[in-house]
Structure 1
């Protein structure tokens, strides 16, 4: 099959609106639903069709925003997604890709240039939220710049809306109603270069990271709460992922994006949003697999490892068991 080529054109009017959108999905009901949601968001659907149209080898002009539902991508589809990611990265187009948990690692690995939103078995509400995040990120549409605290508040709010949507979906499924459409306190900001506290004019050497067995025990204790309380009551994906990656770093183990999503204790789509925020904040790093370009891993950055080591030293191992 000839390699698909894509030529993006930024179709906007004099006011910078509306965005042109391309939609590809094999599920006809889902395709119609996505078109309706795009229209409700005030965007223009340039074209829509099944994945075969996206996989066709002819040159095509796509919109500034491309939505693709690829729950079970084969090798040919993965190659086209990689090409799509490259073109989007170069042109500034936005991608929203939906898939399933089994294909997540492969989809994540082939999308390294465009920072797409990846949704895992999303509800309709989660797709709408993804569209809203695109609109909030477009300079011409933004009312004001979002501060770090604003972005994290929006992320928390997004999670809450997702939780509500999931609960409503469960209620609808149980009762037969409807159709199943298938400024936090934690600031992700590293001290700036040259930063010194009054008592830290000479920075101490980094202490060693704690024993991985201790960190794994803390993780197990945190997960045990779910036996007695609602999972969402204690949801703290950023911290749970930091703990998991800290243990993995000590064990010299690589962590896949799917494994890290599971460790987060929240739905995969929510976990992916947090992973993106943590990468942007310089706490996580994406590491390509040199032996297999279809895989990518997540690791702590050196700054995050330094912070975790100092945290564990600060609170002392006696207090760690209560973490």
Structure 2
């Protein structure tokens, strides 16, 4: 007798089939997303372009929202921002695919819903993102993945877990000393009123000059010309160096620029950025002149931790870092 490989639809803990809304301007991608969502057990409640979705005024988002927007204009950005607010309030999960050219604009639209953002993804990456979304649904029964998809999902899960653990260990806000900032006296030896006690000042370390940080970053990136870049991939450190230099230069750093500095694929860099923001190492800063844009900056505790590190290592050794 032939084995029965039919699996039940993806359901929530109440036994209701999960629903998905698909918004994609490219017809081929829209068809692929439709097939992949159905294969994962979702019920597709809408599959259309962003313009059609905006005009239809559809009430329900479903449990998952899949968006593909390789190019966006001002009207698209306004619609994406509205979807971000709705998904954030409804608790719907989002997977947003875009291009490197549109990344800054798209990233700025999503401040509430915490979507998975993919940059120029292949179909396998989209499938894995759907799998990650399913992993957040309790008591879920899935259709079977083939061995290749299973291994890719396992590797992705391990990667995200490793990022989270590494950041938890290195977050300066959780150091045993209670953080990098503390109340200090205004002079090397300051005596309080009445001279009952003496407070010895601790000199606060300063970040190295931006030009030196840029040279260090450039030297690190040059290794990829002679060796496999994966051998030296350390996106968190490269992003910290880039943001520290920008801080000294008084420059704002876009998410696209930071992804390039990370030296890893943009989608991977975005995972690191998301985890580092969550860990308090980085800050998402809204552009005061255009609320649709957002920049990434060092948290003060991260800047202080970097300054203390470089002060301990010494400037003579910095170029070899």
Distance 1:155 1:188 in 2: 23
Structure 1's 273 and 193: CA in aligned 2 closer, same or farther, altered over 3 A? closer
Which residue does 1:208 correspond to in 2? 206
Give the deviation of 1:52 after TM superposition: 2.8
Counterpart residue number, 1:322: 320
Larger Rg: 2
Counterpart position of 1:187: 167
Other-structure match for 2:294: 296
Summarize deviations over 1:170-205 as a string: whole Å, max 9, x none.
xxxxxxxxxxxxx367333436669339xxx99955
Residues 138 and 281 (structure 1 numbering): CA distance in 2 closer, same or farther, change over 3 Å? farther
In the TM superposition, 1:81-120 aligns within 5 A as 81-120=80-119
Q: Which runs of 5+ in 2 are unaligned?
A: 1-9, 142-151, 185-201
Separation of aligned partners in 1, 2:251 and 2:154: 30
2: CA distance, partners of 1:225 / 1:237: 14
The aligned counterpart of 1:255 is: 253
- Aligned mates of 1:155, 1:210 — CA distance in 2: 41
Q: Deviations over 1:200-226 (max 9, x none)?
A: x99955311111111111101011111
Question: Equivalent residues in 2 for 1:258-297 (5 A)?
Answer: 258-297=256-295
Worse-superposed segment, 282-291 or 59-68? 59-68
Decide whether the 8 Å contact of 1:22 with 1:48 is kept in 2. Answer: yes
C-alpha contact 2:20 2:46 (8 A) present in aligned 1: yes
Equivalences for residues 125-140 of structure 1 within 5 A = 125-140=124-139
**RMSD (Å) for aligned C-alpha atoms:** 3.0
Q: Distance in 2 between matches of 1:117 and 1:130?
A: 7
1:196 to 164, 177, 183: 177
Name the TM-score, length of structure 1 as normaliser: 0.78
Q: Mark the CA change 1:251 to 1:57 in structure 2 (over 3 Å): closer, same or farther.
A: same
Q: Normalised by the size of structure 2, how large is the TM-score?
A: 0.78
Offset, 1:159 = 9.2
Which secondary structure state, in structure 2, belongs to the residue aligned with residue 101 of structure 1? Answer: coil
Measured against aligned partners, the alpha-carbon deviations of 1:249-292 in whole angstroms (never above 9, x if no partner) come to 11111101111011111111111111101000100100011111
| Distance across 1 between alignment mates of 2:172 and 2:12 | 42
Matched, 1:311 2:313: no
- Correspondence for 1:173: none
1:229 to 204, 227, 230: 227
Q: Gapped runs of 5+ residues in structure 1?
A: 1-10, 143-153, 162-182
User: Secondary structure of the equivalent of 2:176?
Assistant: coil
Q: C-alpha distance in 2, partners of 1:94/1:205?
A: 47
Deviations 1:25-77 (A, max 9, x none): 12222222112222232322222122232121524212111011111112211
Q: Deviations over 1:213-248 (max 9, x none)?
A: 111111010111111112222111111101100111
